[in-house]
Amino acid sequence: MLLRAIPSTGETLPVIGLGTWQTFDVGADERERGPLRQVLTAFVQQGGAVVDSSPMYGRAEQVVGDLTSRTGLQERLFVATKVWTSGKAAGVRQMEASLRKLGAPRIDLLQVHNLLDAEAHLDTLAEWQSAGRVRYVGVTHYTSSAHDALVRILRARRLDFVQVNYSALEREAERTVLPAAADRGVAVLVNRPFAEGAIFRRLRATPLPGWAEELECRSWPELLLKFVVSHRAVTCVIPATSNVEHLRANMRAGNGPMPDERQRELIADAVSSG
């Protein structure tokens, strides 16, 4: 698995992570949690580490905490979550709740979700980071309309991470957030690598190009994830899945040769014309 460094410390992370939006928002029934346990186990076995969640994702934090503690995987993961509320006191309560749900003495990465009340929460996060309750801090958004705001806060605050939407269909971050993150020495997590499935709908009738074999890709998801992680500013991409076979395909994208600039444009062209 290809590794990328967190600029602020030099710690390395595998480039393929795991999102939990919708997929980990399940109940306690074994029929619902069993497949997720398999996904987490396969994820770690194949070199994964970054698992990203949020209080916004329903029961996902609790499910991640329960499954990782029961499987003994907690120490092998880099767990990221978020604060998503208004007001300093409300933010502290929510972050304390996240610690309890995740069952962790500290959180690897805590991010201000969608920039909601970012200044207040970043002040709290700086305090928590100094106290050792959180290792890294960052900000997130999932729409291109917020990219300028992300760039402004990257330039104004000392952050470890920024999380942004980026894919072969949504390339706006190449002109804004990715260069700013590289310039400021900030790690980048990528959400929406498949544009919430819009890319697959476009490519439904498009065969995988023959040259995909040069990149050791067997499927469109692998090729699309390689498009994302081949951008040097990207630290890790976090596709979500509850299907272990889809997980294995996603993880393959972190291995082998990566697309060069010509191949990146071919991937983007296929998506735009699909």
Q: Set out the domains of the chain in order of their start, with CATH numbers.
A: 12-197+234-254 (3.20.20.100)
CB atoms within 10 A of CB 148: 11
The model's pTM is 0.96
Centroid of chain to Cα 194: 12
Which H or E element spans position 69? helix 60-71
Q: For residue 235, what is the DSSP state? A: -
> pLDDT of 34-49, one tens digit each?
999 999 999 999 999 9
Quote the CA–CA distance of 51 and 238 in Å, as a whole number. Answer: 8
Find the radius of gyration of the CA atoms of the chain.
Answer: 18
> pLDDT of 60-94, one tens digit each?
999 999 999 988 898 899 999 999 999 999 999 99
Quote the CA–CA distance of 178 and 165 in Å, as a whole number. Answer: 11
Cα-flanking dihedrals φ and ψ of residue 167, to 5°? Answer: -165, 180
Quote the CA–CA distance of 163 and 150 in Å, as a whole number. Answer: 9
